[in-house]
């Protein structure tokens, strides 16, 4: 494949029918009202020269290169800022405009280094292209050092690990500044000075790494010269071919052009055709792909008889044979239910499907679970009970139509940054924001955005807060009567429940910590919005009442009629790239693909006939059950696909004890992770750059994952699973990943219309995709709920049993940070560690003072189940009595302190509420004593 060059129409498209007819250079074209002359020309196949214009940004009109002549108009207007008018006649190639453009280009070139042949952007420079397009052959003003005053000696900023800023090549077009504003929404860049002294600056003239820049790459993408250039391009040269694929980090599911030179990946460029990201990216997807070629990668299978032994490299045949033999031996000795598997939310749908099929058809049980158990399993349960399907209701574009956004338990700027940019654009257009979170996330207040309400609730009281909001909506007559009477059931029972006096904001204020009037105002704002949208994250689901909270949010949406159209809905922000897909593929022990219960005879019959083997009708073991059964001796072997459960799951000591008790642990992964330390077999996995298949993001979008390079291990992961099944005596074989998707489509109604051929043709679709919705379903529940009528559920608030005590007086909650991802296995092996080299504990100044903790001190964080040491940061982001940390670094092992408590319906762990104590670490006390001693004798 050659390098994919996407057409640039100069200015954004305008909505509406193509009703305005114009003639450009004799070519007639019809476009929507508000379209620029520049874009209309491109639609007609006519390119107008430009430098400051690009179709991801609003027109700016500064470069004056795109001037045209328009019949009846005075002068030579800029085509980028001039909208079309009916009957307009435009000429783009007259002598007059040609002379003007050459004059403009002369000025640019006179203050630009003429090092094109050695420049890293040679062949990919718009300034170079425009010099040719305008026919510039000489520069009358001189150029380079002979030109007099110039910017040739402007400094180069190399502080960012991923890109350089060479001010000597800047043409001050403002595209980078506008991209930071309009696309990313960080507004870290600005134009300093005026006239000849104008220059791009990162904040107050500081280096990029010291500025507010979040390294999303939007500025690099927008730059028309080599001013902002990837270091990888400087080092490796310009790429020569592209492969469109999907990011393997968070649940946004951004599409990228992987650009290569030969078989070496040079850079990842966000693809404007990607439905989820539309040409935007974050620091992880854009730049943090180096882990795929990191020397820590395991590329050869490894075995050992005991975890006390050293690993030895073996052939694929030996590894697969050993695995199959041991699994059969363990089943023969301990029973059919003594083995199981955990699927991965980072692998493809096809790979996940293969593992759950192996468990059901080969292992002969339903002992399969997924990491969604420990993050979004309450989403599946709660939304299925209320709406009838286990997924979010909207596409990401929908937020652009929201009038009020209710954001609860989520931090999009860190965990889902590309979606956060969409949300910030809408907020800056005037939409209102309500944040429900114990921590002051960035969206609460920045220089450009401020939430209308921040409900600083006590951790663990989500249900109480939402019940209080529902109380306001019901008792103040804010229910959408027409909607609930037509579309919902159990309405009166729910209204009577939430209208009880004990659910009033005043009655619950002491429990939640949220002032009653603040809560009432937030409830009214959401209920009275034209379009009210709910977005939530792990701060909702990772609680003992996670499922109840999801149902409470669904109640609010139904009560206010905020479901079934753009700008509304209940939307989970999924954490990992394919956590939605891993659930869709039947990774839960009680469900087959498509969320159909294993007890359904008709559904089981579909697979029994196709797979040629019986399927148990009883659900299998969940992950917590597997751990408990391993310790009691009834569960003996575990296949772990791409999940580091020894680091990511709660109550680490319990998890380690369970893994150590197993007779066989098989890990399929890229690296020797914490779980692999307990493994007997390590099967090397493939990175997303080597995979062929599909991911499903948080908006139910099915995206193609295309192999950028051949598997470094020699095998796709689904092939390995099939070979284990065959070695165990079951004939499981596919010729390709496409064939697996065909089987998924054949057996699963919501995927009936999906195929690789279709996805390659249309780009992506959102399930359900079937005969009733051949192009997919961006918005769910438009004319009715999947279950028929939406069901209101009574959501009784039950306080968590995890309480602060005199011994453990603080409450710990956890989350993510922008530069790192999940357990850090990928991002820690990239330059992203420059931003976050260690997990930090955020502590309120009051809590720090009473414990004698200074900013930067090493502290001991302890709970009733464990303890760890990490560095403290004094921060007022947290309320008094609450502290916060991330879990990206295994050296910290934050889950050592999290407990065994979990959601009542799904066993999702209660990561967000752990009673802890914080004390200055002994080594820190020793350092302080040494410093005090040196100071006492006159030392520094």
Supply φ then ψ for residue 266, to 5 degrees.
Answer: -95, -45
> For the segment 864-906, what is each residue's pLDDT rounded down to a tens digit?
999 999 999 999 999 999 999 998 888 888 888 988 898 898 9
Spell out the residues 6+ positions from residue 228 whose beta carbon is closer than 8 angstroms to its own. Answer: 163, 164, 165, 166, 176, 219, 220
Burial 835-873 (b: 16+ CB within 10 A, else e): bbeebbbbbbeebbeebebeeebbbbbbbebbebbbbbb
Identify the pLDDT of residue 558.
98
Identify the pLDDT of residue 140.
81
Identify the pLDDT of residue 940.
35
- Whole-angstrom CA distances from 774 to 285, 394, 642 are 30, 17, 32
**Distance between CA 62 and CA 81 in Å, rounded?**
10
Per-residue tokens: 269: 């460029």
Identify the pLDDT of residue 197.
86
At residue 936 the predicted structure's pLDDT band, cuts being 50, 70 and 90, is low
3-state secondary structure of 916: strand
- Closest-CA residue to 469 (of 547, 406, 410): 406
Identify the pLDDT of residue 449.
92
- Reading phi first (left if > 0) and then psi (alpha if -120 to 50, else beta), residue 460 is in left
Residues 846 and 880 sit within 8 Å (Cβ to Cβ): yes
Identify the pLDDT of residue 938.
45
Distance of CA 181 to the CA centre of its chain: 20
Identify the pLDDT of residue 932.
61
Average pLDDT of the chain? 94
Q: Where are the beta strands (DSSP E) in 113-222?
A: 156-157, 163-166, 189-192, 199-202
Torsion over CA of 81, 84, 85 and 88, rounded to 10 degrees?
110
Identify the pLDDT of residue 925.
77
- Whole-angstrom CA distances from 480 to 487, 557, 562, 570, 571 are 11, 10, 9, 17, 20
DSSP sequence for 489-544: ESHHHHHHHHTSGGGSHHHHHHHH---HHHHHHHHHHHHT-SSEEEEE-HHHHSST
**Distance between CA 190 and CA 188 in Å, rounded?**
7
Q: How buried is 510 (Cβ within 10 angstroms: 0-12 exposed, 13-18 middle, 19+ buried)? A: exposed
917's enclosing H/E stretch is: strand 914-920
Lowest mean pLDDT among 103-117, 519-533, 788-802, 841-855: 103-117
- Reading phi first (left if > 0) and then psi (alpha if -120 to 50, else beta), residue 229 is in beta
Identify the pLDDT of residue 96.
96
Q: Is the per-residue pLDDT at 147 higher than 60?
A: no
Q: How buried is 683 (Cβ within 10 angstroms: 0-12 exposed, 13-18 middle, 19+ buried)? A: buried
At residue 824 the predicted structure's pLDDT band, cuts being 50, 70 and 90, is confident
**Distance between CA 826 and CA 820 in Å, rounded?**
8
> For the segment 418-458, what is each residue's pLDDT rounded down to a tens digit?
999 999 999 999 999 999 999 999 999 988 899 999 999 99
> For the segment 586-624, what is each residue's pLDDT rounded down to a tens digit?
999 999 999 999 999 999 999 999 999 999 999 999 999
Mean pLDDT of 27-45: 97
> For the segment 267-291, what is each residue's pLDDT rounded down to a tens digit?
999 999 999 999 999 999 999 999 9
Looking only at the bridges linking them, the beta strands covering 302-303 and 681-684 are antiparallel
Mean pLDDT of 461-483: 98
3-state secondary structure of 255: strand
Per-residue tokens: 516: 């009653």
Lowest mean pLDDT among 138-152, 429-443, 789-803: 138-152
pTM for this prediction: 0.94
> For the segment 60-89, what is each residue's pLDDT rounded down to a tens digit?
999 999 999 999 999 999 999 999 999 999
Supply φ then ψ for residue 213, to 5 degrees.
Answer: -55, 135
> For the segment 302-317, what is each residue's pLDDT rounded down to a tens digit?
999 999 999 999 999 9
Q: Is the per-residue pLDDT at 566 higher than 70?
A: yes
- Pick the most confident of 202-206, 633-637, 815-819: 633-637
Q: Is the per-residue pLDDT at 702 higher than 50?
A: yes
């Amino acid at each position: 494949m050659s390098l994919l060059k996407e057409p640039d129409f100069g200015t954004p498209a305008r909505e509406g029918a193509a009703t305005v007819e114009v003639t450009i250079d004799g070519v007639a074209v019809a476009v929507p009202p508000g379209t620029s002359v520049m874009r209309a020309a491109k639609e007609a196949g006519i390119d107008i020269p430009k430098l400051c214009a690009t179709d991801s940004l609003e027109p700016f009109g500064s470069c004056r290169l795109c001037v045209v002549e328009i019949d009846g108009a005075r002068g030579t207007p800029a085509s980028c800022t001039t909208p079309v008018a009916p009957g307009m006649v435009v000429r783009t190639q007259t002598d007059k405009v040609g002379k003007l453009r050459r004059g403009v280009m002369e000025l640019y070139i006179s203050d630009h280094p003429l090092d094109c042949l050695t420049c890293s952007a040679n062949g990919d420079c718009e300034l170079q292209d425009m010099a040719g397009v305008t026919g510039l052959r000489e520069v009358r003003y001189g150029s380079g050092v002979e030109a007099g005053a110039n910017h040739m000696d402007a400094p180069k900023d190399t502080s960012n690990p991923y890109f350089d800023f060479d001010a000597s090549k800047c043409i001050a077009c403002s595209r980078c500044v506008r991209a930071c504003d309009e696309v990313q929404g960080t507004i870290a860049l600005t134009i300093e000075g005026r006239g000849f002294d104008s220059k791009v600056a990162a904040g107050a003239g500081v280096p990029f790494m010291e500025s507010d820049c979040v390294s999303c790459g939007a500025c690099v993408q927008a730059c028309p010269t080599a001013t902002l250039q990837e270091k990888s391009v400087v080092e490796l040269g310009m790429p020569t071919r592209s492969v469109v694929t999907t990011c393997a980090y968070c649940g946004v599911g951004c599409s990228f052009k992987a650009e290569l030179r030969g078989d070496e990946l040079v850079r990842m460029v966000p693809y404007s055709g990607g439905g989820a990201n539309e040409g935007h990216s974050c620091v992880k997807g854009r730049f943090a792909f180096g882990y795929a070629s990191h020397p820590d990668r395991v590329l050869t299978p490894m075995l050992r008889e005991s975890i006390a032994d050293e690993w030895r490299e073996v052939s694929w045949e030996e590894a697969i044979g050993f695995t199959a033999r041991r699994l059969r031996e363990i089943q023969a000795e301990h029973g059919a239910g003594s083995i199981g598997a955990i699927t991965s939310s980072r692998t493809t749908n096809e790979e996940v499907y293969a593992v759950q099929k192996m468990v059901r058809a080969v292992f002969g049980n339903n002992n399969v679970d997924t990491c969604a158990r420990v993050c979004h399993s309450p989403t599946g349960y709660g939304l299925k009970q209320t709406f009838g399907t286990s997924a979010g209701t909207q596409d990401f574009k929908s937020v652009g139509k929201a009038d009020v956004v209710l954001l609860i338990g989520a931090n999009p700027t860190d965990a889902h940054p590309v979606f956060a940019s969409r949300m910030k654009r809408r907020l800056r257009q005037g939409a209102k924001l309500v944040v429900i979170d114990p921590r002051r996330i960035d969206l609460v207040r920045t220089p450009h955005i401020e939430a209308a309400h921040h409900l600083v609730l006590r951790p663990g009281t989500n249900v109480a807060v939402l019940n209080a909001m529902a109380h306001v909506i019901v008792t103040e007559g804010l229910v959408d009567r027409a909607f609930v009477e037509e579309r919902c059931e159990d309405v009166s029972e729910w209204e009577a429940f939430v209208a009880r006096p004990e659910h009033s904001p005043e009655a619950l204020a002491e429990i939640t910590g949220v002032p009653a009037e603040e809560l009432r105002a937030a409830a009214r704002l959401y209920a009275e919005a034209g379009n009210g949208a709910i977005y939530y994250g792990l701060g909702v689901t990772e609680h003992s009442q996670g499922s109840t909270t999801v149902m409470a949010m669904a109640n609010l949406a139904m009560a206010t009629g905020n479901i079934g159209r753009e700008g509304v809905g209940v939307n989970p922000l999924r954490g990992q790239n394919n956590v939605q897909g891993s659930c869709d593929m039947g990774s839960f022990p009680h469900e087959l693909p498509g969320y159909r219960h294993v007890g359904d005879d008709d559904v089981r019959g579909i697979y029994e006939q196709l797979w040629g083997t019986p399927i148990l009708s009883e659900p299998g073991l969940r992950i917590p059950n597997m751990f408990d059964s391993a310790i009691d001796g009834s569960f003996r072997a575990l296949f772990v696909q791409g999940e580091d459960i020894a680091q990511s799951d709660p109550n680490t000591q319990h998890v380690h004890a369970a893994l150590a008790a197993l007779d066989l642990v098989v890990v399929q992964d890229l690296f020797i992770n914490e779980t692999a330390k307990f493994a007997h077999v390590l099967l090397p996995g493939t990175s997303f750059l080597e995979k062929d298949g599909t991911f499903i993001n948080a908006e139910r979008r099915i995206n193609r994952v295309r192999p950028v390079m051949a598997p470094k291990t020699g095998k796709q992961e689904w092939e390995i699973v099939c070979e284990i099944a065959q070695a165990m005596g079951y004939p499981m074989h596919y010729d390709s990943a496409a064939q697996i998707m065909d089987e998924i489509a054949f057996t699963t109604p919501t995927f009936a219309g999906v195929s690789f051929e279709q996805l390659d043709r249309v780009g992506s679709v959102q399930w359900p995709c079937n005969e009733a919705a051949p192009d997919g379903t961006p918005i769910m529940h438009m004319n009715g709920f999947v279950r028929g009528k939406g069901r209101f559920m009574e959501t009784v608030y039950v306080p968590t049993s995890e309480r602060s005590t005199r011994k453990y007086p603080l409450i710990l909650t956890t989350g993510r940070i922008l530069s790192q991802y999940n357990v850090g296995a990928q991002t820690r092996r990239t330059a992203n560690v420059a931003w976050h080299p260690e997990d930090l504990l955020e502590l309120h100044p009051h809590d720090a003072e009473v414990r004698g903790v200074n900013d930067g001190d090493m502290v001991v964080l302890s709970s009733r189940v464990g303890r760890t040491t990490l560095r403290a940061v004094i921060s007022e982001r947290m309320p008094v009595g609450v502290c916060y940390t991330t879990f990206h670094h295994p050296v910290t092992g934050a889950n050592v302190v999290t407990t065994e408590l979990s959601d009542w319906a799904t066993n999702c762990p209660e990561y967000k509420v752990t009673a802890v104590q914080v004390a200055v670490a002994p080594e820190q006390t020793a350092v302080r004593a040494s410093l005090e001693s040196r100071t006492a004798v006159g030392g520094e």
